[in-house]
Structure formats: structure tokens, C-alpha cells
Amino acid sequence: MIFYIVRRVLYSIPIALSVGLVCFLLVYISPGDPISAIAPPDAPAEMITQLRRDYGLDKPLPEQFAIWLGRVVQGDLGRSLSTGRPVWGEVSVALKNTVSLAVAACTLAFAIGTLLGGLAAAFRDTWVDRIAMTFAVAGVSVPHYWLGMLLVAVFAVTFPLAPSMGAGPGGTFVWDWAHLPFLILPMVTLSAIPLGLVARTVRGTVIEILHQEFITTLRGKGLRSGGILLHVAKNAAPSVLAVMGLQLGYLMGGSILVETVFSWPGTGFLLNSAIFQRDIPLLQGTILVLALLFVALNLVVDLGQALLDPRIKR
Amino acid sequence: MTDPLPAPLAESPLQPLPDVGGPAQALLSVSGLTKTFAGRGKLFGGRAGAVQAVSAVSFDVRKGETLGIVGESGCGKSTASKLIMGLLEPTAGEIVFDGEALGRDAAGLRRYRRQVQMVFQDSFSSLNPRLTIEESIAFPPMVHGMARKAAIGIARDMLAAVGLQPAQYATRFPHELSGGQRQRVNIARALALRPRLVVLDEPVSALDKSVEAQVLNLLMDLKAEFGLTYIFISHDLNVVQYISDRVLVMYLGRVVELGAAEAIFAGAAHPYTSALLASRPSVAGRSREAPPLVGDPPSPVNPPSGCAFHPRCVFSEAVCATTRPALLPVAVPDRQAEHLAACLINQPGSGHSRAPKAA
Amino acid sequence: MSALQSQSQPLVKVRDLNVAFVSKEATLHAVNGVDFDLAPKETLCILGESGSGKSVTLRSLMRLHPPRRTRITGTIQVDGTDIVAASERELSSIRGRLVSMIFQEPMTALDPVFTIGKQITETIRRHEGVSHQEAQRRALDLLELVQIPSARQRLDAYPHELSGGLRQRAMIAVALSVRPKLLLADEPTTALDATVQIQVLLLLKRIQAELGMGVIFVTHDLGVAGEIADRIAVMYAGRFIEEAPAEALLEAPEHPYVEGLLGATVTPASRGRRLTAIPGSPPNLRTLPVGCAFAPRCTSAEPNCRAAVPDLRALAPDRTVRCIHPAGLRPSMPPAMAFAAEERAP
């Protein structure tokens, strides 16, 4: 097992490096000159050259990458072009908000999705199944931002039950009673897609497991529903875990629209402003951190699967 | 009426390729055939669990005979058949077909594949579910350059030859047939190219007994009709005994015994073969108390030293754990010279207490 | 039914068992009026080809079919308990304790993500409510009973870590957890290697004698049936068509289908002879013929055979056959020759 962990961790290193390279190259493949964002429009040519030298943009590409990588490893993601503050600080604050939201949404999606999927599988081809799957399909197909706006219209405007803007007092989210109401609407919105996917995965996996012969053995041993459920759950766990992990990853980076709708001060919101302000260092840093987080999450999922399923080669 | 009276294929434009070496030359000659599957790489290099599935296997298949290959799971019989078919590349060893070494050049392989065909155990998964029966059978001739119309004509002739009315079955799909009928289709497809050697890998194992008999009878008829040579792979000793002229017994990737079917079934020279024969369940055996062998066949990942069979062998002695016996003629005078076994008991001077004294 | 059982109370008593699987498209009549008894400590082999209803009959004894699509009628009594009428709750306390089952493929019949030990102990604890330590100790005894070497380590092994033979032994241990009175075996040696199959058959015979269980053993293999059965019942199209003591049935079958099956089975004596195959293929269970289901393939069939299903007739106190003209009452040529003649006809 220890060898498997070490090997799997080592496999992640080249992936992380490639991610870094892509992020680094972002500057060069994105349209527009970064210098034009900080230099005044009528700046003389000498000033631009000076700026290029200051930012190290005149060196050959591999050298720039090595320098950049060296700084990144030390936690230095550069400074934001628009605010002048270190990128790492901006990203880490936003990341905390996003992770809080993503984890909350995922927990909700997992709980309800598993319930819906499990019920659908147990009562396959009945009205229970049909209703549960209608929910699941709706969750996957309804556009995020539209659902968000709908919830805002209903629960914040028509029936003012929950706040619809920001993360609460202080502008950043903290796990306490004062901030929790702010979490509700974005969390529900964000959970729609993973909820649908989890419900469908759980349904498919459980139906497949229920068709396996060992279920007949378990019934033949006289186990009651509860005992059989335990076996089904342990068999289904690796597949569900994989879907969950992937979804959590997507939620961390893929919530630009929802965070914008709810003005949630997370990475999506940050990315949005970075793009519009052409703040390349900020964009680069945010994407890099998110991508690395995604790689790490995949690693955790893989290790978790190996732990849950003894058949996965160690 | 299920057993066929095959229609003559005189009008068929596809004729079997001519006999090159004459009747005395073996149709297929395999020597030193070895296949090693690389294991998963360990952390920081090193090879974990490289598996030698087939080790230095040598045998001949004579023109017109049926060679039966028997063995349990993991003995390498399926790998051997894939090597013979050219579906796997051997790690070492040589395959000679009618005097011509099998190379890796495309033209040679193509010619070889026309002459050597295979029938698999699973009749369903070896047919394309979206092709009609006649299209499936016509496919190989078309691949070898025949016009579609002519190939369909051959397909219908072959269907008749395997006892399926072309008018009734030609345009059906595989799922509309029973297992026995599908296996007939697979046989028809294998024969469509007029091959000289057919490798039958457990062709009747998935069939019910009453259908198994039909297919075995059919195979016997087709062999006579088309002048075929068979390699018949099976775990069912009764079937192998029934259909084979000679039998080859494999254990853990090696040949342990090879000889005429009568000789082997009358008196096996290798203790493993004896145990295999004695393991057949029957009414006659119901008084027995102890099984002929204990334990499972060992894993090829971690083969025992010396003779691979020694941990399960009742005659095992210290020498068996250290010396790997060669496949040598059985030194018993009343047996045919052609009977080979890889057991120290049969080898004079081997050091085994039961071995005949060296002359 | 037979003299042997009338002396004592049978362990199993099945009367007019019918099992049908209903779907939107069709109704599949898998079992059509099966009667039989099983004495305590007796081994009955149900022999048949695929689709004969042998496995369905076996699973009916525990009502293991998918409940929603299955229609089951008739009576099944196991040790006095009515299985057909039992509630799911009653069934769950009968299953595993009074009746248990082993399957063809232990790799799929055991839960891949639970250890062997856990799969045994959970059965013991379900039915007897003993402590974990006690269950663990009994599980170890069971692994030793089925002759699994280094049993203590194997308790913590997962199914995929065992060889085929050991897996099937583990499956047997699971089934024997609570010492059932009736063991159902669904082709338990078919997937095993030849040298392993005979070991498992002998093990089952020994354990049966030791624990005094009744065994119903389903197989398609005449040799296996001959090796293990006291009595053999042959099924065709969901009916018992012949039932007799094992040796008698294999030596001199009465029903033309059983004769055909014996003729079609390759034995060491078959070499050099043409096999006497049964023509045609088994009937479609969705649309069974009115009369004898074997009539379309039978060489001695006559109009009466097609008019109605022949009654089960007793040829001897312990022998029944469902045929109008069984071999013993047929005057003409020997059956094997009749098949051979039919087969050669153009």
C-alpha cells in the first residue's frame, strides 16, 4: 500500500509540471500585450522597454519559465497588475471562500443525490424512480446562472428568506451563524449539477450491483435489507467517490457564473475580474492554484478508491 | 435433420492452397515456442511478476491429423493457440508451416492466415452482431480480395456444409440463432477461406451435451470432406480422447506428455496426466475416497522449481525439486517410440528411485 | 413418492410447482408442474441442459427469484415449513439457517470487497446473534472443515486473493455457516479445473455425511451426477421427465430424451464411434407445445404424445418416467440404434 501511495504521488509530479507550463504560457497565448495594461497608452518606447526588462519579459522563454517556476515553488505568484498586491494573498482568500462553498454544495449534492439514486435503484421502473430521475436530469440540464437568478428572484426578492449578495459581514465567508444564510442560495444553485450526476451514478451503480450474483448469495444467507445495504454501499463507494471528487474539482474552478450571480468573493469571481482587467499574473496564479488543487484532489480520490476496493492493485 | 451432407464446392473459385512439402512433412512445426508477458513495473524499475505463459514448447502437427491439447487453467494452451494463429508475437521460438517459416512480413502472414483459421469457445462474441450470418461468413473471402457476390455464394455453400439451410438462415442475425447454430456459423466462417489447419479452442465447451454431439459429429465430417487438419484445445478429456489422433498435455506452460491418444489414455506416462485422467467424474468413481490430486494448479507468476508438478506429485522426490525433466521418449519397451513425457520416473539414470536403471 | 422416503418424514416435499417469469413481452414458463421428495441426508441430482428449469426449481426452494416478476404456485415444504406461503421476514430467517446455497462461480457469488471471514461471520451473527469473537472462532472452524490450508490467514483474505478451488471451498464454508439441514448446489464444480472439481465433489460428499444434510445438486454433467447422486431426476422444458436411483438411471434410462442424452455424451467408450446426437434444439419456454415437450425431437413420438403431456408413471417403486412408451415397455429396436438410424437418414 505504501508503495502504491508513493508511486501515485510521483505520477502526479509530471502532471503538476505540465499544468505549470500551460499556466506560464497563458501569458503568451492570450491576446494583447500585458505591458499595455500597466503602461499609459501614450508611453514612450523606452519606457515600455524598461518595463519589459523590469518584469523580465525580455529574456528567452525557457529562462523565464525557470525563474517563474522557482518563484512559484516558494509561494511567490507575483503581484497583481491591477491592485499591486501579491497574487498569493488574493488567491488564498478567494480560495477559502470557494472551497467553503464547493464543499458545502458537494455535501448537499452527495446527501440528496445518494438518497435519490438509491431510492431510484431500489424502486426501479416505478414512479419513485421516474420522479427521482426527472430531478436528476433537471439538475444536470438546468443552466447554473439561470437557476441562480430564479432562486434569487423567488427566495430573495419575492420571499426575502435568504440574502443573495456576497459572503456576509467582512466580505469573506466564515463558518458561523452570521455568515451561514449567505451560503444557502449559492450552495443550492451550485449543487444542482453534482446532485444530478451523483443521483444518476448511484442509480446506475446500485442497479448493476443488485444484479450481481453475490446479492443472491446475501439474500440466500438470510441477510435483511439493512445487511444487504451495507454490502451495496461498500461496493458502490469507489464509483461514487470518483464522481464526487471530480465534481468537487469542477466546482472549485467552474463556478465563475454562479459566483458572479451571487457576488461570492471566490476564485470564480476573482478569475472574472482578472480576465476583464487583463490582470495576467492574477489570472495565471488563480488558474495554477486551481489546477494544482484539481490534481491533488484526483490523487486523493485515487488513493481513496484503492483504500475502499481491495481489488485495485497496490 | 441436423447432420449435414455437405454440398461439393466444385464451383467455388476459392481452392485450398496446394500442399508444398508432401504428406511426410509436418503441416505445422513448432519449436522452442516461448511467450513471456511482462509484469507491471515496480517502483524504481525492476520487473515484478513477469509471466512465462508458454515455455519452450515444441511439437509437430501432421497432415490430416487431429492434435488434441489438454490442460487446466493457466497451463498456456490458449496462449499457445494465439501464438500459432499469429495473434501474439512469440518471445522466442519458431513456427514452420508446411516447410515455410512464419515471418512477420505482411504478405507471408496473409498467406498463412488464409491457411490457418480458428474457432473460439464463445460463439456469440466471435460474431459481429450487426452482420447477417452470410455477411459474417463472406467477410474473410472478401478481405482476401473476392468479389462480394462470389463471397456470398461461398457463404451459402458453407452454411449448407455445416448443416444450416441457407434459405432459412443466411439473412438472420447471430442473436436469432441458438448456441449450437452459432457455433456452426463460426465453423463455416473458418472454413470459408478453405484453410488447411483449423485451430479449435474449446469449440464445444459452452454447448449443451446434446448439441455438443452434433457439433463434434459435424467437425469429424468436415475434416473428411475438406481434408482438414485440426488442433483441438479442450479441458474436457473425454472430448479430447474422442476426437484426437494424438494428444499433447500441458502443465504450467510446458509440454509434459505427447503421444498417440490410444497410448496416453491407455497408460499415461506422466503422473500429472494420470491424475487428470483419474479426476474425471463418473459413476464408476463413486466409491473413491481421496482425490487423485490435492490443491489447485499453481500460478504461472511464481512457478515451482525443478519439475513444475513436483509439489502436487505423489511420486515427488528431492531430485524433482532441483531437476527440470526434459521431454524425452518414454523408456518402456511396449510403448510406441513416439510417446514422449517430461518426468524423471521415465528417464534412466535420472536419479529418481522409480526410474528404470540406466542401460 | 419412493419407498425409501415413505418410511420417514421427507425433508423436502414439492408438489405441483410452477414458476413463470412475467415481463411485458412474454411469460416464460420455466417450471411446469414439478413434484418430488427429498429424504433427510439424501442427495438428489437434478440433471438438465440450459433452459430445462433445473436452476429455477432449485432457487424456488429458497424463493430466491426476483419477487416482482416471478409467479410461483404449488407447495414447497422444507422441514415442515411452507416456503411458497412464507412472508419475506420468515424467509429471511429460513435462508442460510435451514436452507443454504452454493453457486457455480464463487468469484461472482462472493462479495468482492468483503473478506472471507466477514462473509462467514455475518451469517453466523445474523442467525445466532453470537459475539464477534465467537463468530470468528466458528468461521475458523468452518474454513478448517472445508480444508482450506492456513485457515487463519485466509479469514482476512478477499475472494480475488484465493485460487478457484479455495474460493469454492470458501463459498461452501459460507453456506455451511449455520449448519443448514438442506444444501442447494447450483453447478458448483462446473467452473473448476478437472483436478479441482473432483476434490470439491469429494469434499461435498464427506461434509454431507458428516453433517447429515440433504443435498439437491443441479448439474448438466452426467459424470458429476453419477459421482455424487443417490437419485437423479432429469428435467426437460420445466418438467421432471425421469427420476430414478443414480446407477439405474445411468445404466438403463427409460425416457427417450435421457437415452439420447446418454448417447450424446462423450465418454471414454465413445472413441471410434459416431456420436448419437439428439436432433433439433430444446423447446422455446415462451411457447411450449401442448403435449410432450420432447415429442418434436423424439423418434418414437406418436399422435398421443402431442395431444397432452404424458402422466408421470411409476415403473418401479423408486422409478418414475413421464413418457407413453419408455424404453422398458418398447418392443422394437434398441434406442441407441433408433437414434443412429434417424441421424443417417437423408
Per cent of chain A over pLDDT 90 is 23
For chain A, the maximum distance between any two Cα atoms, rounded to a whole number of angstroms, is: 86
Query: B213 with B306, same domain?
Result: no
Between chains, do B43 and A3 touch, taking CB under 8 Å as contact?
yes
Residues of chain A with CATH 1.10.3720.10: 88-308
Query: B233 with B284, same domain?
Result: no
Query: B164 with B278, same domain?
Result: no
- Residue C223: is its pLDDT beyond 80? yes
Domain of residue B100, CATH code? 3.40.50.300
Q: Count Cβ atoms below 10 Å from residue A62 Cβ, excluding itself.
A: 8
**What is the DSSP-derived secondary structure letter of residue C95?**
B
- Residue A234: is its pLDDT beyond 60? yes
Domain assignment present for B260: no
- Residue A313: is its pLDDT beyond 90? no
Place of cell 494583447: A32
CA B142 to each of CA B66, B125, B156, B171, B193: distance values in angstroms, whole numbers, following the listed order = 29, 21, 14, 17, 10
| CA quadruple C62, C67, C73, C77: dihedral, nearest 10 | 20
- Residue C339: is its pLDDT beyond 50? no
Check: CB of residue C159 under 8 Å from CB of residue A311: no
Between chains, do A217 and C174 touch, taking CB under 8 Å as contact?
yes
Q: Write out chain C residues lying below 8 Å of A231, CB-based.
A: 111, 114
Between chains, do C123 and A221 touch, taking CB under 8 Å as contact?
yes
C-alpha cell, A170: 467582512
Residue B52, helix vs strand vs coil: strand
Q: Which chains touch B (3 or more CB pairs under 8 A)?
A: A, C
Query: B192 with B280, same domain?
Result: no
Domain assignment present for B250: no
pLDDT for the residue A125: 86
pLDDT for the residue C78: 94
- Report the alpha-carbon distance of residue A235 to residue C280 in Å, rounded: 43
- Report the alpha-carbon distance of residue C257 to residue A102 in Å, rounded: 67
**Is A231 an 8 Å CB contact of chain C?**
yes
- Number of helices (H) and strands (E) in chain C: give both, helices first: 14, 12
pLDDT for the residue B49: 65
* Helical axes C335-344 vs C256-264, angle rounded to 10°: 70
Residue B3, helix vs strand vs coil: coil
Name the CATH superfamily, with its identifier, for domain A88-308: MetI-like (1.10.3720.10)
**Is C111 an 8 Å CB contact of chain A?**
yes
Residue A38: which H helix or E strand, with range?
helix A34-38
For chain C, the maximum distance between any two Cα atoms, rounded to a whole number of angstroms, is: 71
Angle B83-B85-B88 from CA coordinates, rounded to 5°: 40
pLDDT for the residue A254: 58
- Report the alpha-carbon distance of residue C28 to residue C22 in Å, rounded: 6
- Report the alpha-carbon distance of residue B296 to residue C195 in Å, rounded: 8
Query: B282 with B220, same domain?
Result: no
- Residue C337: is its pLDDT beyond 50? no
Query: B290 with B237, same domain?
Result: no
**What is the DSSP-derived secondary structure letter of residue B70?**
E
Query: B150 with B70, same domain?
Result: yes
Check: CB of residue A221 under 8 Å from CB of residue C96: yes
pLDDT for the residue B12: 47
Angle B91-B94-B95 from CA coordinates, rounded to 5°: 120
Q: Domain boundary at B223, B244, B265, which?
A: B244
C-alpha cell, C105: 462461480
- Report the alpha-carbon distance of residue C301 to residue C341 in Å, rounded: 15
Instruction: Nearest chain C residue to A310 by CA: give it.
Output: C113
The pLDDT of C252-269, averaged and rounded, is 90
Q: Write out chain A residues lying below 8 Å of B42, CB-based.
A: 3
Q: Write out chain B residues lying below 8 Å of A6, CB-based.
A: 43
Query: B108 with B218, same domain?
Result: yes
Per cent of chain C over pLDDT 90 is 70
Using 50, 70 and 90 to split pLDDT, how confident is the model at C26? confident
Which residues 6+ apart lie within 8 Å of C228 measured at CB? Answer: B281, B286, C43, C45, C201, C204, C205, C215, C217
The pLDDT of C125-141, averaged and rounded, is 94
The pLDDT of C299-315, averaged and rounded, is 90
Domain assignment present for B331: yes
Residue C234, helix vs strand vs coil: strand
Q: Domain boundary at B226, B244, B262, which?
A: B244
Q: Taking the alpha carbons of C161, C164, C166, C171 in that order, is the dihedral positive or negative?
A: positive
**Is C137 an 8 Å CB contact of chain A?**
no
Instruction: Nearest chain C residue to B206 by CA: give it.
Output: C50
- Report the alpha-carbon distance of residue A233 to residue B263 in Å, rounded: 57
The pLDDT of A6-26, averaged and rounded, is 86
Average pLDDT, chain C: 89
Quick one: C323 exposed, middle or buried, by C-beta within 10 A (0-12, 13-18, 19+)? buried
**Is C94 an 8 Å CB contact of chain A?**
yes
Radius of gyration of chain A (CA): 24
Query: B236 with B308, same domain?
Result: no
Query: B210 with B294, same domain?
Result: no
Give backbone dihedrals phi and psi of C241, rounded to 5 degrees, phi first: -105, -20
Least confidently predicted of A169-178, A191-200, C218-227: A169-178
More confident residue, A37 or B244: B244
Query: B93 with B186, same domain?
Result: yes
Q: Taking the alpha carbons of A131, A135, A141, A142 in that order, is the dihedral positive or negative?
A: positive
- Residue C343: is its pLDDT beyond 50? no
Domain assignment present for B146: yes
- Residue C334: is its pLDDT beyond 60? no
Domain assignment present for B249: no
Q: Write out chain A residues lying below 8 Å of B40, CB-based.
A: 313
pLDDT for the residue B308: 92
Between chains, do C268 and B73 touch, taking CB under 8 Å as contact?
no
pLDDT for the residue B7: 39
Check: CB of residue B354 under 8 Å from CB of residue B337: no
Domain range for B291 is: 274-346
Query: B127 with B232, same domain?
Result: yes
The identity of residue B127, as a single letter, is L
pLDDT for the residue B10: 36
Pairing state between β B340-341 and C81-82 = unpaired
Displacement of CA C217 from its chain's centroid (Å): 4
Q: Write out chain A residues lying below 8 Å of C93, CB-based.
A: 222
Name the strands in the sheet holding C12-22, side by side, starting at the edge strand that comes first in the sequence: C27-38, C12-22, C70-78, C81-82
Average pLDDT, chain A: 86
The pLDDT of A114-142, averaged and rounded, is 91
Nearest by CB to C64, from A216, A223, A310: name it: A216
Name the strands in the sheet holding B229-234, side by side, starting at the edge strand that comes first in the sequence: B116-119, B197-201, B229-234, B66-70, B246-251, B254-260, B340-341, B328-329
Instruction: Nearest chain A residue to C61 by CA: give it.
Output: A220
The identity of residue A219, as a single letter, is R
Domain assignment present for B224: yes
Q: Please state the domain count of chain B.
A: 2
Q: Domain boundary at B202, B222, B244, which?
A: B244
Domain assignment present for B1: no
pLDDT, one tens digit for every residue, chain B (359 residues): 344 433 333 334 567 777 777 777 889 999 999 999 886 554 444 445 688 899 999 999 999 999 999 998 889 998 999 999 988 889 999 999 988 888 777 888 888 888 999 998 888 888 999 999 999 999 999 988 889 999 999 999 999 999 999 999 999 999 988 888 999 999 999 999 999 999 999 999 888 888 899 999 999 999 999 999 999 999 999 999 999 999 999 999 999 999 999 999 998 999 999 999 999 988 877 788 889 998 888 888 888 999 999 999 999 999 999 999 999 888 656 555 589 999 999 888 888 888 887 65
- DSSP lists the bridge partners of residue C73 as C18
The pLDDT of A77-86, averaged and rounded, is 82
Domain assignment present for B69: yes
Instruction: Nearest chain C residue to A306 by CA: give it.
Output: C113
Name the strands in the sheet holding C182-186, side by side, starting at the edge strand that comes first in the sequence: C99-102, C182-186, C214-219, C43-47, C231-236, C239-245, C319-321, C313-316
pLDDT for the residue B68: 96
Q: Write out chain B residues lying below 8 Å of C250, CB-based.
A: 283
CA atoms within 13 A on the CB side of C177: 35
Check: CB of residue C132 under 8 Å from CB of residue C125: yes
Instruction: Nearest chain A residue to C161 by CA: give it.
Output: A311
Pairing state between β C81-82 and C319-321 = unpaired
